[in-house]
Amino acid sequence: MHVFECPGLPVAWVNAWLAGIGATVLDRRIRLHWRMEDAPVAVLSAGTLDPVEALAESWPDAEFLHKLPLTTDWNAAGEVKRNVPVEQFILRSRAARGHPHAWTLSSTLTDLSIDANGEVSHAPLDPPVPKGLTLHDRLLAVHREVVPASEGRLRDSLMGRADRVKGNGLGFDITRVGSLADKSGKQIEPVVEVLAFFGLCLFPVRGPGVERRSSRSNRQDARQRAWRRVPGTGDRRRFVWPAWRQPLDAAGVDALLDVWDPWRRHTWAPLDIHAGWRSVRYLPKGDERTSAIGSEPL
């Protein structure tokens, strides 16, 4: 077994946790677990070759990304911009049914929750950003920063020694936010952002399936996997995620997330889970409109 430890992917950083999963989605030969000692970080492994070599082989090119079902104008099947009418979403979802990357729709949008304008809801991990950019627009922007995606470039990012670049990324990374006195703007790690996008594969979004045409509330009913109610806080939900010891492929991670209960500690040991975290929402300052997700240990 070839093993590569990734200090650039600490588990307490939600984007890094999603990125670790994204590596197993991009290349099904790769398995993921988390180092127990000190601050847990991702450990990638593969049976026949260096996992970083495998990841470089499987890294998507621009043509591949432009063919994803989430693309704004895809196969003349409706138009998916930031605001998506139900009718357009129906056209797109029907055309994408059976496509190997149909998850790019089901992990970001749902018509089981619609707003007063008859538009579908977005997943919590698909937050609004300036200029109405879609999640696919953001993916293309970060992908352009990793050209060419050489093995050395990917290795530097996974080691945590690659330079950051200006950008907003997918829109929920708290480490991109500097202080109010910082004039350099937001800084992202583009390799982590691309991998985090593919990590969304395991996090579909749903809703109650009840049409709500009232404009009295801006509350969304969209529910995404791993966003769980915190006991004692009513309907408040936080994103929760675990660290596990056993190397798992994407299907294994999928199964683990099905049975892990973050609020019942007796479910942790049988699943080889040694730590867990929950999200903390970034509080914007003044008229700032930044979305970001921090973390705290369970």
What pLDDT does residue 286 have? 67
pLDDT 10s digits, 232-289? 776 679 999 999 999 999 999 999 999 999 999 999 999 999 999 999 988 877 666 7
CA distances, 24 to each of 19, 153, 167, 274 (Å): 9, 18, 25, 20
Which one has a higher pLDDT value, 163 or 214?
163
CA dihedral 144, 165, 55, 175 (to 10 degrees): -130
DSSP E strands, the chain: 2-10, 31-34, 41-46, 109-114, 120-122, 165-166, 187-188, 205-206, 223-224, 227-229, 237-244, 273-281, 293-297
pLDDT exceeds cutoff 80 at 219: no
Which one has a higher pLDDT value, 158 or 213?
158
Residue 136, Ramachandran bin (φ over 0: left; ψ between -120 and 50: alpha; else beta): alpha
Please provide the average confidence, as pLDDT, over all residues in the chain: 92
User: How large is the average pLDDT for residues 95-105?
Assistant: 97
Residue 131 banded pLDDT, cuts 50, 70, 90: confident
Tell which residue, 65, 87, 195, has the closest CA to residue 134.
Answer: 65
What pLDDT does residue 23 have? 98
What pLDDT does residue 39 have? 86
Q: What is the pTM of this model?
A: 0.94
Residue 130 banded pLDDT, cuts 50, 70, 90: confident
pLDDT 10s digits, 164-173? 999 999 999 9
The residues near 92 (Cβ < 8 Å, ≥ 6 apart) are 69, 74, 77, 78, 80, 105
> How far does Cα 106 stand from its chain's mean position?
13
What pLDDT does residue 191 have? 98
What pLDDT does residue 218 have? 43
What pLDDT does residue 290 have? 82
Tell which residue, 291, 64, 111, has the closest CA to residue 211.
Answer: 111
Residue 222 banded pLDDT, cuts 50, 70, 90: confident
pLDDT exceeds cutoff 80 at 217: no
pLDDT exceeds cutoff 50 at 151: yes
The residues near 48 (Cβ < 8 Å, ≥ 6 apart) are 2, 29
pLDDT exceeds cutoff 60 at 220: no
What pLDDT does residue 216 have? 44
Tell which residue, 33, 46, 45, has the closest CA to residue 275.
Answer: 33
What pLDDT does residue 252 have? 98
Tell which residue, 18, 33, 31, has the closest CA to residue 246.
Answer: 33
